[in-house]
Amino acid sequence: MAGYAFPESLVETAWVEAHLYDPDVRLIEVDVDVTSYVRGHLPGAVAWDWSADLSDPVRRDILSKADFERLMGAAGITNESRVILYGDQSNWFAAWALWQMKIYGHERVSLMNGGTRKWIAEGRPLTKDVPPRTPVRYTAREADVSLRALLKEVQAASETGSATLVDVRTPEEFSGKVLAPLGLPETCQRGGHIPGAHNVPWSEVCREDGTFKEADELRALLTQKGISPDRPAIAYCRIGERSAHMWFVLKYLVGISEVKHYDGSWTEWGNLVGAPIDREKFRRIPHASPRIASVLKAPGGKNPLSGRTKNYVRRQDILAGWPVEMVSYEVEGCHYCDIYSVSPGNRLGGGVGTSAREARAKARDQAWEQLSDLGRRLSVMLSNFQDAFLVVDENWELTYLNEKSLSLIGQSYSESLGLNLWDALPELADSLREPLTEALRGDGRTHLEVCLPSKKMWLNVRTSPTGEGLAIYLIDITERKQAETELAVMNRKLEAELLERKRIERDLRKAKQEAEEMSRLKSAFLSNMTHEIRTPLAGILGITAILSEEISDELREFIHLIDNSGKRLLDTLNSVLDLSLIESGSVSLNKEPVRVLEVVQDKLVFLEPLARRKGLTLALGEVSDVEALLDYSALDRILNHLIGNAIKFTSEGRVELDVCPVADRVHIRVRDTGIGISPEFQAHMFEAFKQESTGMDRSYEGSGLGLAIVKHLVERMDGAISVESAPGKGSVFTVAFPRAPEKRSKREARLRSVFGSSRERGPAG
């Protein structure tokens, strides 16, 4: 820690292990790969997800003060706690968390030097247990904006040079050759860097084990890159995590007093309309000086960086089928070699030796180790694929298979390795040999679907090129194909059903037209017939009235029979015509507020003589003076039928009428003490021409149309009709109509608008 500006900001792994169970210490893990924590972490450590816990995704911003306080309190961190942050990728996001903690004023916070990688390399303890944390209250300070650079300040620094812009991305990102490091998503539309920025790749401030370099090395690196510790600096990267890492180095290790972090970084600038950018032709710059300073440090403090590099060699090489870039160079008699993957900035290994061969051999050993580790991880990933994956060389021999592909071939891995693809999967030879041969000779890519009859499987076949042949993906799409087949069958059924539906619709339209024509003919027939019958019938009734006064008493009885029969016939004709007009919609109803009690009283006066002749009492029961929305004439006809029926089917006793409001309806009940209605007939009593007593033995006259007319009229006025009856116990017919809105006087309305409702006014009114 010697030489660092703020050595307390960095702790070593040994110190952390010694303080694992210190109640004052809180360990927080923040990773690029948010799944690393569950695979193993430091005992007692709590995980923070950088994308969920340390970000506001709605505003694309750091945490607000309130959210920061909740995060700290939930982790059991008090204002006095000593917080140790660590993570993968040499503490990228751990540094980002530290930056936010400094913004909100938490002083006792440090990074664990080397992060998770160094801890594991030293064999220190790991656990999968998640420690319990008791939430505490945490109070943050107001945000220290001097630690953060926003867009306007960065634009000013680019235009005026008021601060040194430090771009910590790889040289390939800085030059614009790539938009993001290998394996990371592209978050911008343009490649390049902010005009005036200096490129200091974050990896150059770290050793191979992920720990930070010594203070002298860091200062020498910055001097070489043209960065003065006496000028303000602003660090940026792609999304802000690597530049937080560099911000920590510049402020707490090197000691630059004015350092800001531009967390908007290239994601903001690279997508900004109208923002200028710089690009450079990509070239590889040997990284000998900063990498070997500690190795070549000469006695007496002589800096070997002043020596010239020579025998610089750059060439493409192939390491286990992986295309790599090898950089060899010599500095003052010492030979160096670095090996990079062709993805920019990804260093696989490096070596130092007394000869170029020795340096390359050491670099190859390191590269082999990294590639072997990568190969093991890839093998685990491919083995766990849910779909078959295999690799063939240019002679169609199988060089790799995962577990799923072995199940297709039906042999073990050792038996399958080296087999010819067409011998291993003979059923696919006819359909795949030609397209895969074209892919092997061309760009290595193809996409088609084939069937594997023996297993009743459908496979989606995709290929991609490898250094020696083809990678083949066999994706099981059997369920999809079955679904497509079922869908095709269903489509055919639907088409047939659609044709049948269209035929039925044609038949229905034809039947409707015929029914309408029949209805028109029926109406015309009834109209003509009633006219033709009514006219002579009216004459007959008129003549009988005259004859009843002029003939002798002996013949007056016959005249009386003729008169009664004629009136019955006329009543039947009127009912038939009324029903016909109602069913055809020819009757126009005008709904308006009607005082129901007034209509009922008029009807009682009209029918009272009929009841008196039968010795019945016709009276009102429970009544209220309310209004309903209905047609006056229709209500008159409804009451005429209901009260008339009650009188007709009651031999002794009484007929009563109730008028009462029920919620938003007005109920009219007609109760009698007559013969009642059987339950069997109640289901048919509103049908036309239906009567309970029929034939020659029926006791009561009538056409059976009255209740059918009543039902039609009630429903036309949005009403409802019901009946309660039992043989020998009388009947109760109830009709319900919508209640009319209450009318308010002008004075009442005025008082309500000024003082509120009467219920809201006090005793004083």
Residue type, 565: S
- Judged by phi (left if over 0) then psi (alpha if -120 to 50, else beta), residue 301 lies in left
- What stretches of 153-276 adopt beta strand conformation (E)? 164-167, 198-199, 233-236, 259-261
pLDDT recorded at residue 648: 86
Q: 3-state DSSP helix/strand/coil percent for the chain, to nearest 5?
A: 45, 20, 35
pLDDT band (50, 70, 90) for residue 415: confident
* Highest mean pLDDT (candidates 384-398, 414-428, 543-557, 614-628): 614-628
The answer to which of 7-11, 493-497, 551-555 has the lowest mean pLDDT is 551-555
Helix or strand or coil: residue 140?
coil
pLDDT tens digits for range 707-730: 888 888 888 889 999 999 888 889
88 phi, psi to nearest 5 deg: -85, 180
Cα distance between residue 339 and residue 324, in whole Å: 7
pLDDT recorded at residue 136: 95
For β-strands 164-167 and 198-199, DSSP reports them as parallel
Cα distance between residue 28 and residue 41, in whole Å: 10
The answer to whether the CB of 269 falls within 8 A of the CB of 275 is yes
pLDDT recorded at residue 712: 84
For β-strands 233-236 and 259-261, DSSP reports them as parallel
Q: Identify the burial level of 676 via C-beta atoms within 10 angstroms of its C-beta, where 0-12 means exposed, 13-18 middle and 19 or more buried.
A: middle
pLDDT tens digits for range 74-105: 999 999 999 999 998 899 999 999 999 999 99
Residue type, 546: I
pLDDT recorded at residue 737: 94
pLDDT band (50, 70, 90) for residue 401: confident
Residue 250's Cα: distance from chain center in Å?
44
CB atoms inside a 10 Å sphere around CB 301: 7
pLDDT recorded at residue 751: 47
Can you spell out the DSSP letters for 391-417?
A: EEETT-BEEEE-HHHHHHHTS-HHHHT
- Judged by phi (left if over 0) then psi (alpha if -120 to 50, else beta), residue 44 lies in left
pLDDT tens digits for range 505-521: 999 999 988 888 887 77
The answer to whether the CB of 42 falls within 8 A of the CB of 29 is yes
Q: Which is more confidently placed, 106 or 33?
A: 106
Which residues neighbour 89 within 8 Å (Cβ) at sequence distance 6 or greater? Answer: 31, 32, 115
Sign of the Cα pseudo-torsion (78, 79, 84, 88, in order) = positive
pLDDT tens digits for range 425-449: 888 888 899 999 988 888 888 889 9
Q: Which two tokens stand for residue 659?
A: 């008028």
Domains in the chain, please, with CATH?
1-144 (3.40.250.10), 148-281 (3.40.250.10), 288-380 (no CATH), 385-476 (3.30.450.20), 483-583 (1.10.287), 592-738 (3.30.565.10)
Q: Identify the burial level of 101 via C-beta atoms within 10 angstroms of its C-beta, where 0-12 means exposed, 13-18 middle and 19 or more buried.
A: buried
Residue tagged active-site, from 237, 334, 451, 660: 237
Per-chain mean pLDDT for the chain: 82
- Averaged over 497-512, what is the pLDDT? 92
The answer to which of 337-341, 475-479, 572-576 has the lowest mean pLDDT is 572-576
Nearest Cα neighbor of 171 from 204, 207, 211 is 204
Please list, residue by residue across 107-130, b when 16 or more beta carbons sit within 10 angstroms of its beta carbon and e when fewer do: ebbbbbbbbbbbbeeeeeeeeeee
The answer to whether the CB of 339 falls within 8 A of the CB of 324 is yes
pLDDT recorded at residue 34: 79
The answer to which of 35-44, 55-64, 174-183, 487-496 has the lowest mean pLDDT is 174-183
This prediction's pTM: 0.43
Cα distance between residue 281 and residue 273, in whole Å: 23
The answer to which of 313-322, 340-349, 610-619, 686-695 has the lowest mean pLDDT is 313-322
Cα distance between residue 567 and residue 575, in whole Å: 12
The answer to which of 250-259, 292-301, 313-322 has the lowest mean pLDDT is 292-301
Cα distance between residue 579 and residue 587, in whole Å: 10
The answer to whether the CB of 249 falls within 8 A of the CB of 242 is no
Cα distance between residue 542 and residue 567, in whole Å: 11
495 pLDDT exceeds 60? Answer: yes
Cα distance between residue 261 and residue 272, in whole Å: 18
pLDDT band (50, 70, 90) for residue 704: low
pLDDT tens digits for range 404-414: 888 888 888 77
pLDDT band (50, 70, 90) for residue 573: low
For β-strands 10-11 and 309-319, DSSP reports them as unpaired
How close are the terminal C-alpha atoms of the chain, in Å? Answer: 86
pLDDT recorded at residue 755: 41
285 pLDDT exceeds 70? Answer: no
Q: What percent of the chain has pLDDT over 90?
A: 42
Q: Identify the burial level of 19 via C-beta atoms within 10 angstroms of its C-beta, where 0-12 means exposed, 13-18 middle and 19 or more buried.
A: middle
Whether 334 is a known active-site residue: answer: no
The answer to which of 7-21, 82-96, 409-423, 736-750 has the lowest mean pLDDT is 736-750
Helix or strand or coil: residue 247?
helix
* DSSP single-letter state for residue 614: T
275 phi, psi to nearest 5 deg: -80, 130
pLDDT band (50, 70, 90) for residue 43: very high
Nearest Cα neighbor of 326 from 351, 308, 303 is 351
Helix or strand or coil: residue 722?
strand
- Averaged over 153-179, what is the pLDDT? 93
The answer to which of 222-226, 344-348, 706-710, 738-742 has the lowest mean pLDDT is 344-348
Cα distance between residue 231 and residue 494, in whole Å: 77
Q: How are strands ordered across the β-sheet holding 334-341?
A: 309-319, 322-331, 334-341, 347-353
Which residues neighbour 759 within 8 Å (Cβ) at sequence distance 6 or greater? Answer: none
Nearest Cα neighbor of 117 from 47, 19, 42 is 42
Helix or strand or coil: residue 27?
strand
Q: Which is more confidently placed, 532 or 195?
A: 195
289 pLDDT exceeds 50? Answer: no
Structure-derived torsion over alpha carbons of residues 694, 696, 701, 706, reported in degrees to the nearest 10: 30
Cα distance between residue 432 and residue 420, in whole Å: 14
Q: What percent of the chain has pLDDT over 70?
A: 80
Nearest Cα neighbor of 371 from 431, 324, 408, 306 is 324
pLDDT tens digits for range 338-393: 887 755 456 777 888 888 888 888 888 888 777 766 666 666 677 677 788 888 98
Q: Which is more confidently placed, 320 or 510?
A: 510
